[in-house]
Structure 1
Amino acid sequence: MPTENKPAEPLQVERSTITKLGITGAPSLDPINVFLEDLAPRKGKITVSCYDKSWHAYWGGMWDGLTIGQFFCRLDEHYIISYFSPSLSSMRFSNDALMTLAKKSVIDRRRMRKGYWEFGDSLDQEDARDLFDQIDDLRGVESISVGHQQGALLTDLFGPEWWHLVDEKAVEPNPDWHYLCRIIAAVQQALGQEQPQQEAA
């Protein structure tokens, strides 16, 4: 049987206020594009793009009376990055730091004639030399997960729960984090310049 054509229900349409900013002139940064969308009171969305990367955030509980731009300017970079890129950390694994830490562990344990030191029990001269010679095997380890392939050596160097020490101390500042911080700072500066002009208008 032919189906009866039912009249289409009207679509729901919501209006929002969208602002686009193009930012140039930030030191050592490509042009930045920013889309700000005020969806409703206390609700807003922002999209920031620079070169070939984009970051997005939505807030459904902004402070009363603020636009998304004003709200964004009052946030610190740690909070913003937790929305833009939750897995991004200010520090990252460093093979150079791991090698330095491994050598320090052997030297410090050799200097301790007896008892317990930060990295484990003391070492005699022969054991220290043998362990020091093995450290070069760690060259090329690119992450803690890859480091598990050298688990026996890392255990000898740092103890059975070596990954805690490596995760804390075999690190260096993450350039991706600081790059995003500079972009956020540039966006906040631009928004800060825009707001007095908008209020005057």
Structure 2
Amino acid sequence: MKITQSTIQQLVITDVKSLDPVKVMIENIQPGVGNITITCFGKSWTSYWGAMSDQTIQEFFVDCNDSYLINCLDRGIRSMIDGEDNEANIQFVKAEICRQRRERDIERLEAREWWDEAEDAVDIKDLVCSWHSNSTLCKLFGDEPWHANWPSVPNPDYEYLERIVQVVREAIKQTLAVPA
């Protein structure tokens, strides 16, 4: 049986405007190897790094940019997500109809039919992207309309984690500046 001991540093960050207390658990397992766990308002994010040169987690975290750290803490999270604004989606579809008409990919009557259908759509994205839709608009973006560049909005979950990462980075900087 092999038993290894490591040192864990815990930070509790409070009194941050519009943010609940943030708890940070930092474990430096050996030089260049460690993990961090961040919790705030019942949610937690954790990441392990096994190759940080000879840096501590604290030094590594301070040196990394927000998007890298956010992706490590919450794999696959996107900074932008598809918007749910039907009007913006209708304008997007209309712009594509105009583009295809200008390039003579579609005829005038087909463009008029698609335009009218788009204007009356309650949920244009579902109408265009749904495999069971009978809409002629399904042809507008080809075989995979969900991959079109639909209007997007900032992801609030990403922005929330970004604020937390920035607060944690600042707290770590402050602890690194304080002599032990």
Settle same-fold status: TM greater than 0.5.
Answer: yes
Residue deviations 1:127-168 (CA, integer Å, cap 9, x gap): 3332123224461757x9x6444485443322344333x2x3
Question: Partners of 2:97 and 2:50 in 1: how far apart?
Answer: 53
Q: Which has the larger radius of gyration?
A: 1
Counterpart code for 1:17? T
Q: Which runs of 5+ in 2 are unaligned?
A: none
Match of 2:114 in 1: 131
Matched, 1:27 2:11: no
Matched, 1:69 2:53: no
TM-score under structure 2 normalisation?
Answer: 0.83
How many equivalent pairs are there? 176
CA RMSD of aligned residues (A): 2.5
Match of 1:176 in 2: 157
Residue deviations 1:39-86 (CA, integer Å, cap 9, x gap): 11111110001102100000111121x221111111111211221111
Counterpart code for 2:80? M
TM-score under structure 1 normalisation?
Answer: 0.76
Counterpart code for 1:163? W
Residue deviations 1:149-197 (CA, integer Å, cap 9, x gap): 4485443322344333x2x333222111111111100100110111111
Question: Partners of 2:96 and 2:107 in 1: how far apart?
Answer: 10
Counterpart code for 1:25? D
Structure 1 vs Structure 2: percent identity of aligned residues?
35
**1:33 match: secondary structure:** strand
C-alpha spacing 1:177/1:147, structure 2 compared with 1 (3 Å): farther
